[in-house]
Structure 1
Amino acid sequence: MAQYTQQFLNSLLSQGGPAALPYAEGMKWHIRQHLLHLTEAYPSLQPKTAVFTHNDGRTINLLQADGTVPMLFQGVTYNIPVIIWLMESYPHHAPLVFVNPTRDMVIKRPHPFVSPNGIVSIPYIHSWVFPASNLVELARNLSHFFARDPPLYSQRKPSNPNPNLSTGYGSVNSSVGSTAVRPAIPPGVYSSTPLPTPTPPPPYGSGRIMEDPAEVFKKNAIHELVESLNGDIREMRKKREGEMEGMFGARAVLRKHDEELRIGLKEMQDEMEALEQQLQMVLMNTDILEGWLRENEGKLGSNDLNSVDADDAFELCDALSKQTLDCTASDLALEDTIYALDKAVQEGAVPFDQYIRNVRLLSREQFFHRATASKVKAVQMQAQVASMASRAQPQYAFS
């Protein structure tokens, strides 16, 4: 049965898309554990799915624990039918608990913990704090408070069942997903008294049976041992749940760091590729300069560098280079002219209006020379890249 319940919860909580249950993805593991622990401690409460209708008319498919909670009243155990709804914000908020009376039961009015429409309100629900609170402790508290004041009575005649429980939180369809038979409460006809305690007749007249003190001591010792073990198990469970929360948080941090490292690695790879391209450009320009030096070393003849004409030392290899040189020379000449005009207007040799007019004309001409040089440089860069690609192609062909 436990394996079937586990498979059932795994199937429900792993669904995606429109059929997915409306719980947070990070909380589904806790919801599964809470329901599994509840069914282990209280096999009469089984997880199911049903449609819950909110007050505004919205309907949503939710998980519920449907069944009975045992109640010890005057020495006899009774089964109180309940429905525990896990709302969308569970487990951060407490579940919604209803007493679900059968057709031969009626809710006690007034009751300190159960409203007339069946809503259960006990201190454990009001003080719900995640992750300390869970469904097992909730069921224990329900059993304890129901035993103090039973919420249900038997009625004389069966009444028509009401499938919809109208509550302050909405309406609940109690027939959806429920196929288990309710455990019967001992029969009796009472209109305003709690469920009766059957008094078995004494087996030996009116005499009293004395138990063996050794057996009593043994039972008490076993009871204390079981309580101690249950307390240790609860502490271990809380500790493990806290550790699991820490692991989930650490996993989220590690994922964030992994993403940051991937982005940094990508940026470093892009920068390395850009540096390799610049290195290839520098190496190519170095080869060109070294070749030029080898060709022109013999032209010097003597060691007198002043005898070398700069115009003869440099030869333009193509029209683009000549155009670049002309634009650069014009740009620098205009820059010198504007500088000379600045000096002249400061010394008062040139009127200010004439200075403004000449600077405007010279600046416009300088702008055109600079724009032309920029376009020529872009074309030369494309030609250099194409030349590098043509040189590298035979090497890759042999590799």
Structure 2
Amino acid sequence: MSQYTQQFLNSVLSQGGPAALPYAEGMKWHIRQHLLHLIEAYASLQPKTAVFTHNDGRTVNLLQADGTVPMSYQGVTYNIPVIIWLMESYPQHAPLVFVNPTRDMIIKRPHPFVSPNGIVSIPYIHSWVFPSSNLVELARNLSHFFARDPPLYSQRKPSNPNPNPNPSPSPNSGYGSMNSAVGSNAARPAIPPRVYSPTPTPPPPYGSGRIMEDPAEVFKKNAIDKLVGSLNGDIREMRKGREGEVEGLFNAQAVLRKRDEELRKGLKEMQDEKEALEQQLQMVLTNSDVLEVWLRENEGKLGTADVTAVDVDQAFEPCDALSKQMLDCTASDLAVEDTIYALDKAAQEGAVPFDQYLRNVRLLAREQFFHRATASKVRAVQMQAQVANMASRAPPQYAFS
């Protein structure tokens, strides 16, 4: 199997856009395999692309297998030129097969399997079922049915002035000859027009079925094939190496991109932390200024009066009644907490009986609960007052209705 054939099929079946072949995407792999198996079994058939003209005038670019199918007739092998068209619905439906006679051949009339315009109709085509049917079996059936009744006859000029007007089998060619006398010239029946290929490629020579090639041309072709194969191998190796290098560069680029993102993220976090620390520093400086001002104002008072005469409860004055109530509840809560801690320590040391300890703790806990509940209610009222104050100071467009 030629490497060029595989490359050709891979290229034409992978094309997209307007140049794409009109086959279903899910069937292109089956089409490729069918053609490769056909060429492997029948090297005389080669895949091509050509324009097919439908009966309604539509033209479409399709794949075809063009070449010859061998057949055995009277002990001699002959090659029948055929064209196997893979229609748009292939391989769901059977291909369209034409006999492609050369200029010195005519189609036998009538023929049970070949119409006058060259269309082949054999039982295998009519019973085509995908995926069991394939091109290799089709070619075998063509060879079998052609051997039973050859579809082509060769035309020859008469060797005497009175040719026989009736066709008869020719023992030399295996197909017979058809001649008619019109003066001294032999008439050549016109080959029916073929609409399936606008530029048909001349098939190989027809006769004994053997194709003789010039040894020099064969050597030249083999040398070119070897050179091209070597170049293709080198190109594949180079491409493989370059793809590995590109893949490595892509991986390095991905690592660098990830590190760049991590650095950017870390830098942003450090900037945010710096801003937060600056805000905290500003707040500490502000509080320090407030404390310094308070100390300066009260240092003179401490210098003239007795320190013990200072009333701690009067050192701080709440700004309103709610704040005073919150201060009282918090102080009472902390005082009860300290008392319970002292009782607990006394109970552990045995200074207080256990039953008395439980009774006092229960009473203190009840009192502490009421202080905390009162503080919670005061805090809620303060929050509502703060919200109302903020709403009253908001601009008109943000004021609540």
Report the TM-score, using the length of structure 1 for normalisation: 0.47
Larger Rg: 2
